[in-house]
A and B are shown apart, each in its own frame.
Chain A
């Protein structure tokens, strides 16, 4: 009798096991399905974007100013604006972010003060981007009188990507083995010499990757630069940074009004006229292409540096 009880429960277990294994397969199928459904839908949307904009691709589109006629309109001022803003963003975010990361990783003592800085960096990464726009509008535009200009936009986006650069740099610094630092200290190097001559060169790849990923985020940010007052209709280019007279470099472009790629796209989307939607799609496809290109570069750099370094 005892054996029969044992055998039925064993059979039950076996039957249950079969069922549970079926469930396993079912879930694996579901997971695969959901994954490819999500990726598939996104891919379809991207292809749709490229197809809608296909009619507008060409030199005319890149070399024309915005226009009231959809077929004459182009992205010249937007592309130049985006390039200049990215320049300012990179020039501000790189040194600030790297310096902050070096401080936190190599110098900072473990105390409440350092904890406050770290919590701030983490929190800033979670602040909605439009809040940065309000900060820039209230502080840079009206308190510091920097105007609704390229420099304000660049500075705003630099603050926005600062956490990304800091986190990436810290990871890169952390990946450098302690032995390298200790060897340099052993030869009498000061902390800064250790950092600048040994740790930083090894982490260049990680830092560049972080910067490019940050810029690829900044290039598509629309909300903060709408908030500081980017204009959608700009039919002129900012003054050239290189001038014919001494000292050959001009900073006039920093104070120029501007538009940018995502702003231009937003403006075209929100027009009721259907003809502008093709323009929006084309601008979107180019913007998407830029973002993906920058990410590809970042991945490539990371790969190259990883290959070169053997601890």
Chain B
């Protein structure tokens, strides 16, 4: 590998040195299936333009036999939601013995579970809003009214209710009055058995992408922060996936200290959770310029309205080039393990 490609994955202009045929996994059975399919189509096209042979597959009972019978050079898991981001599918890919792009299963398990991720990054010194995670059964066994009163007393209003595990803001609700809380809890438990009830931090919402080639000589780098300004004030599902419904500012219009703090926070999160290749941290910068961690994404969306492509573009990088470079690194890393 030449020096330039080792340091700039977007510089790859042809098929990577090791990976020629890539299987893009998209779809699945999670609530984010549609988002995943859109991500898969976009990345698949970007890789084909780079000269790679791309096979986009859904995930079902035929996947393992297909990967076993005809192993690709690399797998690119772009499944969002439970099976795609909780590490389970990546465990299977490791069992099959095929290289893949993205974080290892153990890191995914930490990152996908929001309460766990918050605890891990907090120990690393990252500021994250006060929160409580409770399963539905707790409310049933102890009485919902009393537990909700305690939540309101501890967290205060406004607060956010979100599924402990899930993405795309599905099942999330901002609660501004006490009588909104029961409905928000019920809506949340439609998506997951555990709810995270978190203090709502008023401020500038930003997403920071970390690009990490797993190269010893080059530490993880952050891409320009993307500032999110949804028309309705809340970055919900419609605001995320309706083109035009949200204004993005890249790089985010933050002062230098806050911008630097966001970058440091995102890298700290990436390292603390043990993430690999590509991650996105969702942060809020409050009026005092303090940075708050909300959640990390191990398989961030790359649809036409997603945040990572915006950050790549602002950094002067090409999506296909970056992903092709990561494919290259994954194959190389896998071979080095085998060789060892």
State yes or no: do A and B come from one complex.
no
Which residues does B use to contact A, with CB under 8 Å?
none
